[in-house]
Amino acid sequence: MSKLLTGAEIVFKCLEDQKVEHIFGYPGGAVLPIYDELKNHPSIKHILVRHEQGAGHAAEGYARSSGKPGVVLVTSGPGATNVVTALTDAYMDSVPLVCISGQVPTHLIGTDAFQECDTTGITRPCTKHNWLVKDINDLSKVMHEAFRVATTGRPGPVLIDIPKDIQFAKAKYKKLNKEKKLNGKSHNKFSQDQIDGLVKLLSKAKKPIIYSGGGVINSGPKASQALREFVELTGFPITSTLQGLGAYPGDDNQFLGMLGMHGTYEANNAMHDCDLLINIGARFDDRITGKIDEFSPNSKKVHIDIDPSSINKIIKVDLAIVGDVTSVISKINKTIAKRKNGHSKSNKSNIAKWWEQIEKWREKDSLNFVNSDESIKPQHAVQRLYELTKNKDTYVTTEVGQHQMWAAQHYKFNKPNRWMTSGGLGTMGYGLPAAVGVQIAHPEKLVIDIAGEASVLMTMQEMSTAVQYNLPIKIFILNNQYMGMVRQWQELLHEKNYSESYSEALPDFMKMAEAYGCKGIKADSPAELDDKIQEMIDYDGPVIFDCHVDPNENCFPMIPSGKPHNQMILGPKDQEENKIKGKGKALV
């Protein structure tokens, strides 16, 4: 007969069986038995954060950059409510997280006990699934099921709420059972007919475009490989969502840059004018589509997604293929190769005109900005950062706002899993703790959080975590003293009424760095920027880089809300030209 284990021991047994190496957490009364057990499991390293939201985002960064699920351990009540933002963020961006929360003992549940809250009730809408374990005999099964739910299908966060008495109670450990029933939740059942249908559309298309998303990243590195082959085989132009950046090389000529609200002119116009749109692992988010009625009006639409509920949710499509991106694209590539029977690249001539049109759009150079010798332009700062780090296999996280869009526009990613940003929920304060998690997963790599000063202050406390574990993360703050994106919207849509978007009393980030025990670097002028960035890269330890940038810069190009893709506001150069030609009004 096998030995009886306590609940806390079972938790660690399961984590070991799932090959978990790192957990991000914060102790408290209701999880103390689990924390007590930690010392007996040297293969699992615990990272102590400073706030549970930080634990969640760190686990997200860990998961997104490594492809493994992130594990979070928090206490009951405030511990659980603090992690809700991160769970919601992970749910929106399909990041696999397993969150273990302590709960008051079973007999006190429902009595408004100290640090009690209805954790499963609160997290029900922001997890794929959650469990309250009331019987110790269920614990091992639930733990393994949790990892399965988090990592299969469309990934996402799950939560296991374990009352304190269950952590002490004893039961037999049940091993991970390989053959589990899937309860009809597996969605990789596409048919060869569907693939043939797509290949037929490919061969007919004159103005095709591929629009790829975070699903390609989530499907693993093989998906990016397959996507690159697919793009090469077809010769089609490709654009990417915010979350999909890196799946296809950002500096390749077939890549049109990001699409959507702050996407490039060529990507958005190609989306609008195309006759075949192939969505691979993206979800027609409202930041992408603009006005739904006028979204890509003349195209046949194909949607490849692992989540059946993404199909036809926003945009009706002509051909839906429900499946894992890797298997679907590999199948398509094989089918194309077979069809071509040797004489490949046959339909590339069909789309030569289309490429000419795209080159014309490209000439607009929609990411342009007017550089300056006096003040640092934020776009210039990102470009310099990119130039000085592009040979280093750099991992970049961001907060949310203008700096995030500039990072997406001007930093070119060539590999998947190098770009971690909060897209769906748009969580300010995501980037710093995410960088902590990324650095834990990749201790030897350069990890940079491209940040805004407002966002970074929301989770600044995690610098203390970075210092404790000697994580050499670089916090590159584009400091414009404004909540820049809010200011931009107020300028463009609310008659420049800058209501509460200016931070009157910002901290001195140099002193802050000193207080945390890391290095502070400040840059004020373009002349010193490169040297200062190099100093940051060369420093072996965490750095807060306070980059003072032009406070009035706006993020262009931009699709104003309620407008279709072909009505963009372009950058300053183009606005000047249009003023002269008198046709600019149509674009604003």
Partner 1 sequence: MPKSKSAYSVPTKKQKSDTYIFVVWVDNEAGVLARVVGLFSGRGYNIESLAVAEVDAVKNISRITIVTTGTPQVIDQIRLQLTKLVPVHKVAEFKREDKDVIFKEMALFKVVGKRNKIEKCLNACKKFNPVILDETKSSAVIQITALRREIDVMNKKLKPLGLISTSRTGAVAMTRGAKIFN
Q: What is the DSSP string of 448-501?
A: EEEEEHHHHTTSGGGHHHHHHTT---EEEEEE-SB-HHHHHHHHHHSTT--TT-
Token pair listed for 242: 């915010």
What is the spatial distance between Cα 488 and Cα 480, in angstroms, rounded to a whole number? 12
Q: Does 128 bind partner 1 (CB under 8 A)?
A: yes
From 420, 428, 485, 536, active-site residue: 485
* 495: annotated active-site residue: no
Radius of gyration of the chain (CA): 25
Q: How many CB atoms lie within 10 A of CB 91?
A: 21
Please state whether beta strands 170-172 and 4-6 pair in parallel, antiparallel, or not at all (unpaired). Answer: antiparallel
* 114: annotated active-site residue: yes
From 19, 114, 334, 528, active-site residue: 114
Q: Which residues are registered as beta bridge partners of 162?
A: 102
86, 122, 85: which is closest to 103 by C-alpha?
Answer: 122
* Segment interacting with partner 1, rule: CB under 8 A, options 44-52, 385-393, 454-462, 486-494: 486-494
Which of 110, 561, 572, 583: binder of partner 1 (CB under 8 A)? 561
Q: Does 286 bind partner 1 (CB under 8 A)?
A: yes
Q: Does 124 bind partner 1 (CB under 8 A)?
A: yes
CB closer to partner 1, 103 vs 333 = 103
How far apart are CB 279 and partner 1 at their closest, in Å?
17
How far apart are CB 161 and partner 1 at their closest, in Å?
11
**Which 292-331 positions form the footprint of partner 1 (CB under 8 A)?**
292-293, 307-309, 311-313
CB closer to partner 1, 185 vs 345 = 185
Q: Does 500 bind partner 1 (CB under 8 A)?
A: no
Q: Are 473 and 545 in contact (CB under 8 A)?
A: no
Print burial letters for 46-78: b (CB count within 10 Å at least 16), e (below 16): bbebbbbbbbbbbbbbbbbbbbbbbbbbbbbbe
Which of 183, 192, 341, 349: binder of partner 1 (CB under 8 A)? 183
Q: Which helix (H) or strand (E) holds 546?
A: strand 543-548
* Segment interacting with partner 1, rule: CB under 8 A, options 3-11, 118-126, 368-376, 385-393: 118-126
Which residues, 6+ apart, have CB-to-CB distance to 433 below 8 Å? Answer: 49, 53, 54, 55, 56, 57, 58, 61, 459, 462, 465
Which of 562, 572, 579, 588: binder of partner 1 (CB under 8 A)? 562
Q: Does 208 bind partner 1 (CB under 8 A)?
A: no
Q: Does 85 bind partner 1 (CB under 8 A)?
A: no
* 164: annotated active-site residue: yes
Which of 19, 206, 494, 579: binder of partner 1 (CB under 8 A)? 494
Q: Does 129 bind partner 1 (CB under 8 A)?
A: yes
Which residues participate in catalysis according to the annotation?
A: 52, 114-115, 164, 485
Positions that interact with partner 1 (CB under 8 A): 120-121, 124-125, 128-129, 132, 134, 149, 183-185, 286, 290-293, 307-309, 311-313, 489, 493-494, 561-562
